[in-house]
Structure 1
Amino acid sequence: MADVPNYPPVEPHICVKDGLEAIAFYEKAFGAKNTFKQMTEDGKRVMHANLSLFGGTIMMHDEFPEYGGDVLSPQSRGGASVAININLPKAAEVDQAVDRAVKAGATLVMPVEDTFWNARYGRVKDPFGHVWAFNAPLGGA
């Protein structure tokens, strides 16, 4: 019997259009590491991938509307319904993460600012429609 992976209690599983392009973007924009990828037989779509980033993991796959599921990308749905929140240890890292993502092709949704909840915070939308929010407490080094 194969070992069962030690999955975290909560793990986002996102759907994208053009999974290979998405993996390349997440590697460039967020420093993600592709730890597993399974392609369709024709090699054109990602059936499943695991990406390690910011100390956590997300799973992702291409759309498969032919299977009748309702899991579609934000592009097909007309926008994201959630934001993926990344909590960073230092306020300056928020500026760096948002800047890196924008330089890689993300769209700035909310400029980085100091918030009323005593955090440094900003949001971007990736080219696949997912919104990423970056947050860190103020007052840290």
Structure 2
Amino acid sequence: MSERLQPGDRAPDFTLTSADGSAVSLGDFAGENVVVYFYPAAATPGCTTQACDFRDSLASLATAGYRVIGISPDAETKLRSFSDKEALTFPLLSDPDHAVADAWGAWGEKKNYGKTYEGLIRSTVVVDGAGHVALAQYNVRATGHVAKLRRDLGIS
């Protein structure tokens, strides 16, 4: 299991391909607060709920000075279809070898219906403008997570 990030840690940089085929790096957001959330699979019920919650909260997050990035192991084509279908206006990034998820502590042992396996752990990490972890939440629930995150960040 990868080591989880803690507040104060330097957020590992990355460059991944987005749903529109462009390269996106954490460094592209230098000086900005960024909510980086990891989700297991685009277009599944829980991941759709979570993505739409971020979409619907994007204005209040932006007003409070936060950008949003979603990362999953899905291929760019699946992310593009998901983004188009759900009218998502924030970057969705493809991490097919889960190297970024692993570096951010979002890849590890999971249990489902009595089976144990390796997979993506639904997680959210808030990075401040200096590139340090401000908040790290692991094993979050898809439903209600964005509302809880907004409360934790003091965003109404």
For normalisation by structure 1, the TM-score amounts to 0.26
The structure whose residues are more often helix, as a share, is 2
Q: TM-score, normalised on structure 2?
A: 0.25
